[in-house]
Amino acid sequence: MKIEIWLTEGGKLEIETVEPPEGHLKDGVYGTLTGKTDQGEKIIAKNVLSGPLTGVQSLSTIEIIPDESWSTRGESVEAIADVLGFQCSRHPDHCNPDSDLDLIERTDFRAGGGNRANWSMAFEPFDDYATRVNSIQEYHNLVRTGNLRFELDGVYGGVGRISDFISERLEEITWLSSYIQGTIPSTPLLRLYEPESSGSEDNPSPVYVKARSVQSNIGSSCRKRHLLLRTGRELPLFLDRAYENFIDKEEDLNLKEVFGLSVDSLNTRRPIDPRFVNLCVAIEMLANQYSTDQGDTEKQIKLLVDGLEVEFKDLINVTGSFPTEHHPRLYQNHQNQLQEYRYSNTLTNTKAVENCLPAPQEKVLEYFWYPARNKVIHGNTNISVHNISTDYESLLVLVRRILREILLEGNTDGLRGLQEFEANELAWF
């Protein structure tokens, strides 16, 4: 059987059967199939869906290994990875395709097996970078915007070991950058080179190629409103400060899942209700993982917000479903309710309780969006779409502030895009 495989601009592997299988090919999914290119290079295909008449219908990953005996004893190697939806500037036209952006560098990095690695990563925008970003904004479909160039030395092993190490670092940086980017960049194509060969000819031959279909999160579609940087210089500064915190805390706090939910909430092509629910789930997941106290949701959220010393009271001022200082009478009535609930002490100046106030129960201010949350999840009919929209905006800011504190621990010097998060004050206030 002979097939042609190519990778689309959107990071999908496409397949066409050129010559059908000579023998009987059973229906089903094959974990691994091997073959050769026209040049005799070994191919490994994974998660292959096949049929008796059509041959291979789909696969998740393809690896090309020209020389199975290739290995390195700590010498320098270089990798080039195509990346979807990666941005290097708030304004696409300000990103110079002739100038690479150095993202992060680490020395004496623990690489396992007793190896200590030195590695660095840079972003190389395509010549038509601005056109590609504008296309993402217009058509809401992630495409490749450039390459991530990875340089490494100090790691011993063959192509499998080296490619795994590089792929792990690429995944860490793309996930971490999603907090800034407003999308989740991904790398569908990785090519591994020896530096001697990469500089010896115009089109050097890689020692290893891996292509895969990726499921990218379009998020904000590269809209600059959700790109949390003012200049390209802020992205390397953020990655340098946040990287160790991210890899130390990611597993304990489920940060990848939280990033994914947060980015997905930015997709304006979806209704406001599921976008708001994404944020509710994100912060509740964080609160549950952050606190060892397995109490109720509001208690966990209070411990999260107060434990990280995250400012939130200014967000209550613009929320739509919780009694606020924007409505002094409702706010005072709510405080009177809490006083009576806590101390069974009726205040002499207590006014009649408004019908729209929550039932007399103690609700912490840190959980200010709970009426809108309950409306979306449980169907409380007293909350309007306007309330949900303003709560969404406020909760988005709170989640970003919490993640900023987790990743940077207060060190935002030079990061103008992260120094202030303000919710939009909508017209009905």
pLDDT digits (tens, 9 = 90+) for 68-92: 999 999 999 999 999 999 998 888 8
Closest alpha carbon to 403 in 301, 267, 259: 259
Mean pLDDT of 126-138: 93
pLDDT digits (tens, 9 = 90+) for 343-360: 665 544 444 444 444 444
Residue identified by tokens 């949390």 is 228
What mean pLDDT is reported for the chain? 86
Is residue 281 within 8 A of residue 269, CB to CB? The reply is no
The percentage of residues in the chain with a pLDDT greater than 70, rounded to a whole number, is 84
**DSSP character at residue 365:** G
Is residue 41 within 8 A of residue 66, CB to CB? The reply is yes
What is the chain's alpha carbon radius of gyration, rounded to the nearest angstrom?
Answer: 26
pLDDT of residue 52: 63
What single string gives the DSSP state of each residue in 245-277? HHHHHHHHHTHHHHHHHHHHTT-TTS-HHHHHH
The percentage of residues in the chain with a pLDDT greater than 90, rounded to a whole number, is 61
Structure tokens at 132: 């590609």
Q: Each residue of 115-148: b (16+ CB within 10 Å) or e?
A: eebbbbbbbbbbeebbebbebbeeebebbbbbbb
User: What's the CA gap between 316 and 363, in Å, rounded?
Assistant: 13
pLDDT of residue 383: 85
Residue 265 — φ and ψ, nearest 5°?
-70, -10
Residue 168 — very low, low, confident or very high, per pLDDT cuts 50/70/90? very high
pLDDT of residue 339: 65
Least confident of 21-25, 58-62, 211-215: 21-25
Mean pLDDT of 404-410: 96
Residue 199 — very low, low, confident or very high, per pLDDT cuts 50/70/90? very low
pTM for this structure?
A: 0.87
Least confident of 33-47, 277-291, 380-394: 380-394
Structural domain boundaries of the chain? 2-65, 71-202+214-249, 256-419
Residue identified by tokens 């009987």 is 24
